[in-house]
Amino acid sequence: MRSRTIGTARHRVALAALFALLLVSLLLFGQPTAVSADVTVNIQNFAFAPGSMTIPVGMKVVWMNQDDAVHTTTSDAPLPIWDSGTLKKGQSFSFTFTQAGSRAPANIPIAGDADNAGPTYAAFGTTAATLLAITPAQTGMNVTTMVAANGTVTPGAATPGSGPTALSVYDSVTQHNVPAAFGAYRDKVGLLTIGYAKSEPFLATVKVGGAPKQVMVQVFERRVLTYTADNPDPFKVEMGNIGQHYLRWRYQTGS
């Protein structure tokens, strides 16, 4: 029983790491850091730092695992260009890039039906980037910020409130506010599954089952959560399918 418990825990950590890395790829591709010398990428808190970069041909990148959990770094090409194998804490892997390549930002809708116009993951690197900026605690205020399909952010009036769409938790680790609905859901399924907030929550109108609906959305370290007020109670808060989104971006749409 002891070995089974340990194995289950490791499996959960591995899944958490996977979702974190997929989400980082979707969000940060399109807001790269330009570098001109050999660089080290730290793997820490189940994420790459920096998450994305533009490098010239001939540069060497070193990945260093700073987490207690084991990680890997592997290219996404159909035939992997590099593969580190398992890296324990303190171990590193390096690769020198000898060929040029490119990848468009993730123009994949972050919520709702697959054919939604947006907002997309790519918008967080441009028009909606302000939502990723650190924010002071605003507990007790309603979520009123709107994000249009093209990623344009429209701040709403600051109004106090209560209920599922009111800010009730402040993630001091990442310095973002969390509404009550998402805070309660995270308490239920666990911090390891969801992670800390990576963006401020916002409202968007997206198609769900072909019909337009207003939903509340927030990006966390390992998941994207949505809240739909008129869904049945067990389904008001849902997790976005970031695995499917990554698959579409990386292998099916090419964009």
User: 71 forms bridges with which residues in the sheet?
Assistant: 87
Top-confidence residue, 244 or 165: 165
Residue with tokens 């089974």: 4
Q: Residues near 125 by Cβ (< 8 Å), separated by ≥ 6?
A: 27, 28, 29, 30, 31, 105
pLDDT digits 0-9 by tens, 205-242: 999 889 999 999 999 988 899 999 999 998 999 998 87
In the DSSP assignment, the letter for residue 186 is H
Q: Is the per-residue pLDDT at 10 higher than 60?
A: no
Q: Is the per-residue pLDDT at 14 higher than 80?
A: no
Domain locations in the chain?
Answer: 2-96, 121-249
The lowest-confidence range among 57-61, 142-146, 165-169 is 57-61
Taking alpha carbons only, the member of 171, 167, 202 closest to residue 181 is 167
The lowest-confidence range among 61-70, 96-105, 175-184, 228-237 is 96-105
Top-confidence residue, 236 or 54: 236
Taking alpha carbons only, the member of 215, 210, 145, 139 closest to residue 171 is 139
Q: Is the per-residue pLDDT at 47 higher than 60?
A: yes
pLDDT digits 0-9 by tens, 152-196: 999 999 899 999 999 999 999 999 999 999 999 999 999 988 989
Structure tokens at 104: 């468009």
Is-contact 201 216, C-beta < 8 A?
yes
What fold is seen in the domain 2-96? Immunoglobulin-like (2.60.40)
Question: Hey, is 238 helix, strand or coil?
Answer: strand
Taking alpha carbons only, the member of 45, 94, 101, 52 closest to residue 85 is 94
Q: CA distances (Å), 64 to each of 18, 40, 91, in order?
A: 17, 7, 6
